[in-house]
Amino acid sequence: MPVERAPGRARSPHRLGAHLVGDGVDFAVHASRAEQVVLCLLDDAPDGTLTERRYLLRGPVAGVWHGHVPRVRAGQRYGFRVHGLWDPASGLVHNPAKLLLDPYARALSGAGDLHPAIYAHAVDDALAPVDARATPSDLDSAPYVAHGVVVDDGFDGAVPPPRVPWSKTVLYEAHVRGLTMRLPGVPAELRGTYAGLAHPVTIAHLKRLGVTTVELLPIHAKLAEPFLTAKALTNYWGYNTLGFFAPEPTYATRAAQDAGPHAVLAEVKGMVALLHSAGLEVVLDVVYNHTCEGGADGPTLSLRGLDNTGYYLHDGAHPANLVDVTGTGNSLDFRRTRVVQLTLDSLRYWATEIGIDGFRFDLAVTMGRNGAEFTPYHPFLVAMATDPVLAETKLITEPWDLGPGGWRTGQFPAPMADWNDRFRGAVRNFWLADAGAQSKGFPGRDLRELATRMSGSADLFGLGEVPGGRGPLASVNFVTAHDGFTLADLVAYDHKHNEANLEGNRDGSDDNRSWNHGVEGEVLRDSPFAVVLPLRRRSMRNILGTLLFSAGTPMLTAGDEIGRTQHGNNNAYCQDNVISWIDWRMMPWRQDLLDTVSYLLMLRREHPVLRPARFSSGRPAAGDDVPDLAWFDLRGEPMAAHQWHDPHHRVLQMLRSGRPAGDGDALVILNGSLDQCEVALPTGRGRDYELVWDSAWERPQFSRASSESEPMSMLASPGESVELEALSMRLYLTRP
């Protein structure tokens, strides 16, 4: 096939990707070890086959190949072919038979097929390597891979972001498809799409619930792993990125997909704009730690064919071997300048052009590794934290990976926040694992860990360059997330049930810290075991109350507010079906739970004492006469040292002063025992306590969300004894 020299130079060779400029398009791609890079412009022939116009790019300039091609417009499909050394033992797998996706492509055409042609090395019928990857494949991959598409970034409907402060933020983790696939009121053609997520019915639910920030599972373009495709499954969660700039096209409406990539991109931007108009932020879960190209035996779709050793982390002594700290077969190497540039450019694009308000970084420790070692002062982390665009967004880490020294909760620099897995474990232990142990005659754990987590995890987030650390709001508190049991399954299953994943129930964590309350699995109302149902519901309310009354930034998982179940599957990453899609049928108990969550969020929103921005000292703040935080036992006396270490001590009172926040005081009482108990309220400042919530209530006794009447008074005096149900909690407030 003839190859022309690119007619002109790119205006700026260092601006990577495809950009409309003057009478055509500038193209630039990084491939530092290449000998030649050919730009391929793709079109459909009348017979349905692909035609290519090929242009030899100029360069390299610091590893970048570039060119300007006139008379190219938005909508043009393109890719690259790279000529260079084939030496797998040295990590070099250049193969011009493979059409490679531009890492900066902002839209995609086609989904890609699992076909032998997508591998740079020769494979057999089972897609296994031939000759230990020594033989290059001569099959043309162009018909079987996704193509980049030139786009016009213009969009007239952008809406200014809500800029919700961290002190008022409530995260809501959701999947674009799973949230609305079964949501009544959303038109069938919009369900499971970007447009469906921004539909008035969806927004009305989010606003009524009281969350502020939707945290979406990955929407970067993805590709399912070959082993899933072979089993007719798919990567539903999307943690297998193909392109860091392009949105996943299958989440768009059929009308947008048919209209073309520009319409898909417009639907994504429209979704963000509509959520912004409703005062809701959008945070993206992003996966910059690895790509869908997998291990060394995986396909060659983009980065591997462009610059394998320049993008991926390799064993220095054996460059043919990838270093895998992500559990996916590959890890991006953040020692490399172009990896850092790619990630920062992608983040800025989504923040500025799409309007995204923040990012949650999957396996974020990988991004802070200088080879094997993690450092919070990694150049990438410093660059992101000090970038004038990104520093204005919410930056949230999943502070671990699978490599050595991979657990780093609390060790990322400001202004980042971290998922706090220690909070998750402490709350599950207290209300579920320890309660289950008690039911079998065994003691649980002592109260120190739970109290530390409820007070903001100062041991984790109180350190760092900023005096006093990042503060409690940097702790993203959660009890459930996309991976693991749902809230309803935590109280219904002792063991995972992942048979639908076709891995013999071997996948997924066995460390669930759940409690089925005596009966495994779902129980019908007319079952002889139905006695456990109210106990399970109370346990859910206990967990939710602890989450929302603790210092930190809370995160809810979509569907937990109505008791969504995955039928015991704690690793539903490959289930794009009713296992993962939220069932919105509102039985009475589900409506009660929704009203409860909405009410608790209203209390948190209206009472800043429940969401402190600074760590407590245990001493009175300036101008106050009671400690900013104090702990009491069931007699209303300050907790003694030995009580903190006693696993049989299961009652705890937390009194937080509201004066620093201009609010009344808040008293949270936890009864983690299997028996009713009398609790003497602490003296505090001598003011009456008003009971505003009891987890023994199936629904709020008074709620602005459910009643227009004035709240009924439930006052108790300091020192007065009150009776708490077994395994329950209460919230009392005082007047300012």
d(CA 656, CA 616): 9
Catalytic residue check, 362:
yes
d(CA 633, CA 654): 9
- In degrees and rounded to multiples of 5, residue 352 shows phi and psi of -90, -45
- In degrees and rounded to multiples of 5, residue 437 shows phi and psi of -65, -40
d(CA 292, CA 382): 27
Q: Is 30 in contact with 16 (CB distance < 8 Å)?
A: yes
Instruction: Dig out the tokens for 288 from the structure.
Output: 């910059």
Q: Is 664 in contact with 734 (CB distance < 8 Å)?
A: yes
Torsion of Cα atoms, 85 then 88 then 93 then 98, to 10°:
120
Q: Is 64 in contact with 15 (CB distance < 8 Å)?
A: no
- Which position among 173, 307, 324, 398 bears the catalytic label? 398
- 441 CB burial (10 A radius; 0-12, 13-18, 19+): exposed
What are the C-alpha distances in Å from 6 to residues 12, 245, 525?
15, 25, 71
What are the C-alpha distances in Å from 521 to residues 75, 436, 490, 536, 584?
51, 15, 10, 11, 20
Q: Is 709 in contact with 703 (CB distance < 8 Å)?
A: no
d(CA 368, CA 372): 10
Instruction: Dig out the tokens for 38 from the structure.
Output: 């050919």
What is the longest distance spanned by two Cα atoms in the chain? Answer: 90
| AA identity, residue 403 | G
- Which position among 281, 362, 576, 663 bears the catalytic label? 362
The torsion region of residue 91 among left (phi > 0), alpha (psi -120 to 50) and beta comes to: left
**CA 116 from chain center: how many Å?**
33
d(CA 281, CA 186): 21
The 689-694 sheet, strands edge to edge: 629-632, 651-656, 666-671, 728-733, 689-694, 715-716
- The candidate with the shortest Cα–Cα distance to 362, out of 483, 498, 471, 474, is 483
Q: How many residues does the chain have?
A: 736
Query: Residue 172 is inside which H or E element, if any?
Result: strand 171-174
- 238 CB burial (10 A radius; 0-12, 13-18, 19+): buried
- 9 CB burial (10 A radius; 0-12, 13-18, 19+): middle
What are the C-alpha distances in Å from 420 to residues 173, 480, 540, 634?
15, 11, 19, 28
d(CA 604, CA 668): 13
- The candidate with the shortest Cα–Cα distance to 540, out of 564, 522, 521, is 564
Annotated catalytic sites, by residue? 362, 398
